[in-house]
């Protein structure tokens, strides 16, 4: 089995034909989803977005999780408008997106966003178009799609360049993740799909989860599942962002794992265009202790 670096390099570096609503010249859209609540799609999305922004790329983090609205809270940004307001035309994406620390911007979600599934395809297309033409342009749009297989999640699946399915090592979570991929794959035009094992008890346990999912996806769905890697523990966030500073800090092994995945993703993108990679923020601001 390939290691985390090779798995993610394939995930984001693989060149594919243009997908509907996903021009190659625009930002790459990466969707994070899970088979059931509690697998950690939100914390993984925030962690990857934070690390990627600290590496020098312009990142737009979108909260499309219909079961929550935690992204704005974790990123400590206000939320006068949300993704629901954009979809209902009460606000534009430019109105709703909030500036976070460094190069991270956030489109907040709202608590109890089940009504996202009631939006029309036209509303969703309009949202995607607005996200892709924002100025300054994003290098990556990272979407926290949450768990399940609702209509809103299906629409992001259809335009995503890459999908990261977040699971834990628990049998129920693995089965639910497979079921979610199965339902989404029925939409056709499947993007590059990868599995990330969160709160893995060991590297070997994570690999076994991936093997199990990959075999089932290949045999029954004809979907080739890549391996994005694993995270050992739930990130522990602390620290308040101020203008120009880093977002939040997670210490130890978990932070290093998140940063490793994000750095591989950024190495494919080549960093922020026209700007050399920073040597890193001051010690007090580093994501990894």
- The average confidence (pLDDT) of the chain is 78
The per-residue pLDDT for 134 is: 87
Q: What class has domain 4-9+26-272?
A: alpha beta
How far from 4 is each of 64, 188, 269, CA to CA, in Å?
26, 27, 17
Half-sphere exposure for 163 (CA within 13 Å, toward CB): 29
Q: Average pLDDT, stretch 199-227? A: 95
- Examine the pLDDT at 6 and tell me if it is beyond 80: no
Highest mean pLDDT of the ranges 87-101, 177-191, 208-222: 208-222
- Examine the pLDDT at 32 and tell me if it is beyond 90: yes
- Examine the pLDDT at 20 and tell me if it is beyond 60: no
Residues in CB range of 201: below 8 A, 6 or more apart: 169
pLDDT-derived band at 114 (thresholds 50, 70, 90) equals low
φ, ψ of residue 285 in degrees (nearest 5): -105, -5
> Do the beta carbons of residue 32 and residue 41 sit within 8 Å?
yes
pTM: 0.82
Could you report the per-residue pLDDT of 63-86, keeping only the tens digit for each? 999 877 789 988 888 889 999 999
Q: Average pLDDT, stretch 212-241? A: 81
- Examine the pLDDT at 166 and tell me if it is beyond 70: yes
**Environment class of 205 (CB within 10 Å of its CB; exposed 0-12, middle 13-18, buried 19+):** middle
> Do the beta carbons of residue 81 and residue 96 sit within 8 Å?
yes
Q: How many whole angstroms separate alpha carbon 285 and alpha carbon 283? A: 5
Q: Average pLDDT, stretch 140-150? A: 88
Q: What angle do CA 95, 101, 102 make, to 5 degrees?
A: 105
pLDDT-derived band at 251 (thresholds 50, 70, 90) equals low
- Examine the pLDDT at 16 and tell me if it is beyond 60: no
Higher confidence at residue 8 or residue 146? 146
Domain ranges of the chain: 4-9+26-272
pLDDT above 70 covers a percentage of the chain that reads 74
């Amino acid at each position: 089995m390939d290691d985390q670096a090779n798995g993610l390099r394939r995930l984001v570096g693989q060149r594919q034909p243009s997908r509907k609503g996903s021009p190659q010249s625009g930002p790459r859209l990466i969707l994070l989803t899970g088979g059931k609540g509690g697998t950690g799609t939100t914390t993984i999305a925030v962690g990857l977005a934070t690390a990627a922004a600290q590496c020098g790329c312009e990142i737009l983090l979108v909260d499309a999780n219909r079961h929550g609205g935690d992204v704005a809270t974790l990123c400590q940004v206000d939320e006068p408008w949300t993704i629901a307001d954009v979809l209902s035309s009460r606000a534009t994406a430019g109105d709703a997106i909030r500036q976070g620390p460094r190069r991270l911007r956030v489109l907040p979600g709202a608590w109890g966003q089940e009504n996202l599934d009631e939006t029309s395809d036209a509303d969703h297309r309009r949202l995607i178009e607005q996200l892709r033409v924002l100025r300054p342009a994003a290098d990556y749009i990272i979407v926290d799609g949450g768990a399940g297989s609702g209509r809103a999640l299906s629409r992001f699946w259809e335009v995503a360049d890459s999908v990261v399915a977040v699971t834990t090592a628990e049998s129920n979570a693995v089965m639910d993740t497979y079921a979610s991929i199965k339902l989404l794959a029925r939409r056709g035009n499947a993007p590059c799909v990868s599995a990330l094992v969160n709160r893995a008890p060991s590297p070997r346990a994570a690999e076994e989860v991936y093997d199990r999912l990959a075999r089932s996806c290949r045999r029954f769905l004809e979907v080739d599942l890549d391996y994005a890697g694993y995270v050992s523990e739930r990130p522990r966030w602390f620290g308040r962002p101020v203008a120009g500073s880093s977002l939040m800090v997670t210490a130890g092994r978990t932070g290093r794992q998140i940063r490793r995945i994000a750095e591989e993703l950024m190495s494919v993108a080549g960093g922020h265009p026209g700007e050399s990679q920073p040597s890193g923020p001051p010690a007090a601001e580093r994501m990894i202790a």
